[in-house]
Copies of this chain bind each other. A is one copy, B any other.
Amino acid sequence: MNRFLRACAREEVDRPPVWVMRQAGRYLPEYREIRRTAGDFLTMCRTPEIAAEVTLQPIRRFGFDAAIVFSDILTPLVPAGIELAFSPAPHIANPIREPADLDRLHFPEPWSGTEFLSETLERVRDGLEPETALIGFCGAPWTLATYLVEGATSKSFTRAKSFAHNNPEAFDAFLDRVADAMVAYLREQVAHGAQAVQIFDSWIGALGAEDARRWALRPARRLLEATADLGVPRIYFANGGSHLLHDMRDMPCEVIGLDWRADLSMATRALPDHVLQGNLDPGVLMGPDAAIRERTLAMLEKAPRRGYIANLGHGITPDVPVRAVETFVRTIQGFRYE
């Protein structure tokens, strides 16, 4: 088993494995070079040759312990009849504004419509050494529901919250449908080579604890329970969820991903049964090498000794210099557990 999978299983490792959210992305000159000629973002996702190449780029450059397949959490909504575009922010032309609109949302059963991703995963797996793990992913039900209702990213999520408060039972059922579809989607990814999966709850931070329990954690739990038989580690990334650490204690997954607002020492105490992943502020990578090294070592110091995956606390931003990522990665790769 490679270092990443060993850490997910809480087995002994020489140092923490490391990867970076959005590691295949615009901060890399080789990515920008392909992007220049490859068309728009969705076309890149849907062209396995291109998607596989950009997935592998950061592995070649940095030797990350895991590759995450190049895609977007919204792509599996397209087979359900959702009209999606990126310009560059995501936009949905036919959002689900009220319960009646749910009649238009048809996730394929059995799952289909993302064969491009299956092919990408196979190509990436062929291009990876066994020491590098391959991660598939999906959006968490609440996060996908916010996009489906709002039709775009939002600051206040008033449309999604309005739907939920005014139609609580319909919203619960809506979240369940999304959860079940994502189970089938993740199953497909694992069948085609994903050795671990991450569930992105990018917008759980918009919810107070009571609403987070009902609208985010409950349907995410449903998704996780239904993927336990996949036999791969599952990472639940609760972005902005530092107020929910104790509520996540019994999440039925192997790994909890944390953003940089969460204190790793506190999280280690609050989540003793989970492997933790995270959580350097990507903003630190805008600073000088000395600061990056110092903050990265401080993070490793606070992290649990066993069952820990080094990462940023959020996706890397396009303006981060390659040099800074190099410093971050080499600091972790040079670290050894005593």
Copies per assembly: 2
Chain B residues with CB under 8 Å of A208's CB are 260-261, 263, 281, 313
Residue picked from A164, A283, A288, most chain B C-beta under 10 Å:
A283
Q: Using an 8 Å CB-CB cutoff, how does the interface string of A159-174 with B read, 1 for contact, 0 for none?
A: 0011011100000000
Those of A145-181 within 8 Å (CB) of chain B:
156-158, 161-162, 164-166
The smallest C-beta distance from A325 to any residue of chain B, in angstroms, reads: 14
Q: Which residue of B lies closest to A315 (CB)?
A: B156
Q: Which residue of B lies closest to A321 (CB)?
A: B162
> CB of A144 within 8 A of chain B?
no
Residue picked from A208, A209, A242, A282, most chain B C-beta under 10 Å:
A208
The smallest C-beta distance from A60 to any residue of chain B, in angstroms, reads: 25
Given A158-B319, A161-B281, output 7 extra A-B contacts at Cβ < 8 Å.
A158-B283, A161-B284, A162-B319, A165-B284, A206-B283, A208-B260, A240-B261
19 A-B contact pairs sorted by A residue (CB < 8 Å): A156-B283, A158-B283, A158-B286, A158-B317, A161-B281, A161-B286, A161-B287, A162-B287, A164-B287, A165-B283, A165-B288, A166-B288, A205-B261, A209-B261, A211-B281, A242-B242, A243-B243, A243-B262, A243-B263
